[in-house]
C-alpha cells in the first residue's frame, strides 16, 4: 500500500457529471482527483476513433446542457454547438421539419397542426423553465418544516409558488392539471395522432421505462425541455463536451487519472478518509464523490455503512435500461426520399405516432424487443466537417425500448437481431441504406452497463419517474447528495435532478459538498 498526496475530494467516474463536479470544486480551490475506471474520460458522452472515423459512442446529441453549468464553468468559448432541426419521418413520405417550436412539412408546406403544436410545446418549455431552478439546486429538505431553520429550504418552493401565481390563474391551473398527467392524453386532446404528435411524445420517454400513456411523462418532457428543448450537435463530437469540462477541471489544478478503478472507501468512525483502488493503492482524501449509480456507489462505500432500510431502498432503485445504441458506419450517405442534403444532416426521428411509441413500449414489459422501435438518428459528419476526414460517415442511432432484461439474455444472436431490426426500420425510410453499410456496432443496454458502469445501462442511471424524483431521488432520505457516510457524496445521474448531459447533478452535488463543509 503506497501513500500518495492527500486530496480534498476524490471524484469517482469521469463521466460528464463527475467532471462537472470536479471542475466546480477545482474552480473553488479544492484539491481534486478524478478516478476513471476505463482508459477514456466521458462515460456516455465520448467520441471514439474507429480507424480514423469518429463515432459518437453512446450519446450523440445535446438536449439539456444546463446554461448555469456552462456559465459557471466558463464553457461557452470552449464548446461549439450546432443546433439541429428535427425531421420527424413519416412512413408515407410526408416528413415534418421541426425547428424550435415551428413545424412544417419538409417541402415547406404548412402542417395543419402546426399552431397547436407550437402552443403545446411552448407551454411545456415555459413550465419546464419554471421548474428549472428546482433542478439547479439540491432537492428541498422539509425536515425542519415551517420553522426558522427550515426557511432557507422552503424559500425555493415559495419562489416557485410565487412564480406560478404570477403566471395567472389560468396558466397555474393548466400547470396543476397537466403536471402529473401523461403526454399521450396531453397531446391527443388537441392534435390528431401522427408524426407530429409522435415527435413530441418521443421526447418524453427517451431512456425511460415508460410509454407515453404512463402518468408522469409530461413531467419528464418538462425536464427535457427545461432549457429550451433544442437538440444540438457538439462540434468535434460528444467527446468534445467531456473534454471541455475536463479541461476546466485540469486548468484549475484537478488531476484526472484514467485506468484507475475505485474499489472501496476507507471509512473511519463513519467518516470517509480515503479510497482504495483496485490495484490496492490507497489515496487519502477528505471527501469522495461518486458518479456511479446509486447502488454501485453504495457498494463502493461499503453496504455495511448503510442502514438496512437504505440498502433495501438502494437495491430497489429501478434502473432497467431501455435504450440501445447502434452505430452504422457508412461508405456513403444514404438517401431518404423527400429530404434535401441539408435536411439529411438533421436529427432524424422515427416515431410516427404516439400510438406507435406506446406499442413499442409494450414489448419491453415482457422482456422483448419491439419489431418497430423508436429511433433517433443523426449523421454528425454532415454537420461537422472536423470529423469527416476519413470520408466515411456514421449514422448514429439511439434505439428506444430495447430491454435490459431481454428474455433469453443478451448475446451475439440477440445483438444481431437488434441490428437487423434497426436496419430494417431505417431502411423503410432510406431504402439504399443496406448497400452503404460498411459495418455496424451495436450496444445493448447490457453492453452499455458493461462499458460505462451505468446501472442497467440506464440513460438516467435511475428511472426518471415521479417516485424517483426530487426529494426521493435516487431514494428517500438520501436525496441531498450526501450519501450516508460523512464525506461521501453522490454526483451522477442517479442523483437529483437526473440524467441527460446537463452537468447539473455533478455541479449541484459539488456545491452541496462545499456548503456542508465536507472538504474543509
Binding site for another protein (CB under 8 A): 141-143, 145-146, 165, 169-170, 172-174, 176-182, 185, 189, 210, 213-216, 270, 303-312, 315-316, 318, 358, 362, 365-366, 465-468, 470-472, 476-477, 479, 484
Of residues 435 and 467, the one with the C-beta less far from another protein:
467
Sign of the C-alpha dihedral computed for residues 62, 68, 70 and 73 taken in this order: negative
**Could you tell me the smallest distance in angstroms from the CB atom of residue 67 to another protein?**
28
Q: For residue 290, what are the β-bridge partners? A: 12, 490
**Could you tell me the smallest distance in angstroms from the CB atom of residue 364 to another protein?**
10
**Could you tell me the smallest distance in angstroms from the CB atom of residue 309 to another protein?**
4
Separation between Cα atoms, residue 317 and residue 315, nearest integer Å: 6
Of residues 62 and 218, the one with the C-beta less far from another protein:
218
DSSP codes joined into one string, 229-240: --EEEETT-HHH
Output the CA–CA distances (angstroms, integers) from residue 86 to 150, 351, 453, in the order listed.
45, 12, 30
Cell of 513: 459538498
Of residues 315 and 515, the one with the C-beta less far from another protein:
315
- Nearby residues of 391 by Cβ (< 8 Å), 6 or more positions away: none
Of residues 330 and 485, the one with the C-beta less far from another protein:
485
Separation between Cα atoms, residue 379 and residue 358, nearest integer Å: 26
**Could you tell me the smallest distance in angstroms from the CB atom of residue 86 to another protein?**
26
**Could you tell me the smallest distance in angstroms from the CB atom of residue 376 to another protein?**
24
Residues 147 and 139 sit within 8 Å (Cβ to Cβ): no
Nearest Cα neighbor of 125 from 198, 231, 228 is 228
Residues 119 and 127 sit within 8 Å (Cβ to Cβ): no
Of residues 100 and 302, the one with the C-beta less far from another protein:
302
**Could you tell me the smallest distance in angstroms from the CB atom of residue 295 to another protein?**
11
Three-state DSSP class for residue 266: strand
Separation between Cα atoms, residue 402 and residue 422, nearest integer Å: 11
**Continuous segment of H or E residues that includes residue 125:** helix 114-135
**Could you tell me the smallest distance in angstroms from the CB atom of residue 468 to another protein?**
8
Of residues 165 and 331, the one with the C-beta less far from another protein:
165
Of residues 72 and 171, the one with the C-beta less far from another protein:
171
Amino acid at each position: 500500500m503506497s501513500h500518495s498526496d492527500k486530496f480534498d475530494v476524490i471524484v469517482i467516474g469521469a463521466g460528464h457529471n463527475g467532471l462537472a463536479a470536479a471542475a466546480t470544486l477545482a474552480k473553488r480551490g479544492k484539491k481534486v482527483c478524478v478516478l476513471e475506471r476505463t482508459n477514456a474520460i466521458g462515460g456516455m458522452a465520448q467520441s471514439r476513433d474507429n480507424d480514423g472515423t469518429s463515432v459518437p459512442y453512446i450519446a450523440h446529441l445535446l438536449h439539456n446542457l444546463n446554461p448555469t453549468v456552462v456559465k459557471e464553468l466558463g464553457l461557452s468559448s470552449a464548446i461549439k454547438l450546432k443546433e439541429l432541426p428535427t425531421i420527424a419521418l413519416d412512413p408515407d413520405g410526408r416528413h415534418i421539419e421541426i425547428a424550435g417550436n415551428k413545424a412544417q412539412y419538409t417541402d415547406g408546406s404548412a402542417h395543419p397542426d402546426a399552431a397547436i403544436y407550437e402552443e403545446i410545446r411552448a407551454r411545456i418549455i415555459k413550465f419546464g423553465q419554471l421548474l428549472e431552478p428546482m433542478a439547479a439546486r439540491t432537492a428541498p429538505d422539509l425536515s425542519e418544516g415551517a420553522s426558522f431553520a427550515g426557511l432557507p429550504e422552503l424559500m425555493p418552493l415559495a419562489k416557485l409558488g410565487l412564480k406560478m401565481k404570477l403566471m395567472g390563474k389560468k396558466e397555474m391551473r393548466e400547470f396543476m392539471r397537466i403536471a402529473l398527467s401523461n403526454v399521450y392524453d396531453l397531446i391527443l386532446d388537441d392534435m390528431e395522432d401522427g408524426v407530429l404528435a409522435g415527435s413530441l411524445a418521443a421526447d418524453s420517454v427517451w431512456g425511460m421505462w415508460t410509454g407515453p400513456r404512463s402518468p408522469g411523462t409530461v413531467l419528464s418532457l418538462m425536464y427535457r425541455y427545461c432549457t429550451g428543448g433544442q437538440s444540438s450537435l457538439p462540434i468535434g463530437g460528444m467527446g468534445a463536451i467531456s473534454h471541455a469540462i475536463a479541461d476546466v477541471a485540469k486548468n484549475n489544478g484537478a488531476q484526472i487519472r484514467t485506468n484507475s478503478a475505485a474499489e472501496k472507501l476507507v471509512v473511519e468512525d463513519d467518516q470517509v478518509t480515503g479510497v482504495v483502488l483496485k490495484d490496492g493503492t490507497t489515496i487519502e482524501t477528505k471527501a469522495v464523490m461518486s458518479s456511479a449509480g446509486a447502488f454501485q456507489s453504495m457498494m463502493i462505500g461499503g453496504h455495511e455503512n448503510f442502514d438496512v432500510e437504505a440498502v433495501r431502498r438502494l437495491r430497489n432503485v429501478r434502473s432497467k435500461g431501455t435504450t440501445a445504441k447502434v452505430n452504422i458506419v457508412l461508405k456513403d450517405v444514404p438517401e431518404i426520399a423527400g429530404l434535401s442534403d441539408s435536411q439529411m444532416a438533421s436529427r432524424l426521428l422515427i416515431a410516427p405516432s404516439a400510438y406507435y411509441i406506446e406499442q413499442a413500449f409494450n414489448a419491453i414489459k415482457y422482456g422483448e424487443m419491439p419489431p418497430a422501435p423508436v429511433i433517433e438518428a443523426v449523421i454528425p459528419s454532415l454537420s461537422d466537417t472536423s470529423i469527416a476526414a476519413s470520408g466515411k460517415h456514421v449514422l448514429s442511432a439511439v434505439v428506444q425500448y430495447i430491454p435490459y432484461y431481454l428474455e433469453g439474455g443478451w448475446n451475439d444472436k440477440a445483438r444481431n437481431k437488434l441490428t437487423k431490426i434497426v436496419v430494417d426500420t431505417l431502411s423503410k425510410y432510406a431504402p439504399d441504406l443496406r448497400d452503404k453499410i460498411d459495418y455496424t456496432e451495436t450496444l445493448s443496454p447490457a453492453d452499455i452497463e458493461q462499458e460505462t458502469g451505468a446501472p442497467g445501462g440506464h440513460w438516467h442511471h435511475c428511472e426518471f419517474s415521479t417516485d424517483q424524483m426530487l426529494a426521493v431521488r435516487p431514494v428517500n432520505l438520501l436525496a441531498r447528495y450526501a450519501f450516508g457516510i460523512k464525506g461521501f457524496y453522490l454526483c451522477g445521474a442517479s442523483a437529483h435532478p437526473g440524467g441527460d448531459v446537463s452537468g447539473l447533478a455533478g455541479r449541484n452535488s459539488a456545491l452541496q459538498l462545499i456548503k456542508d463543509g465536507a472538504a474543509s
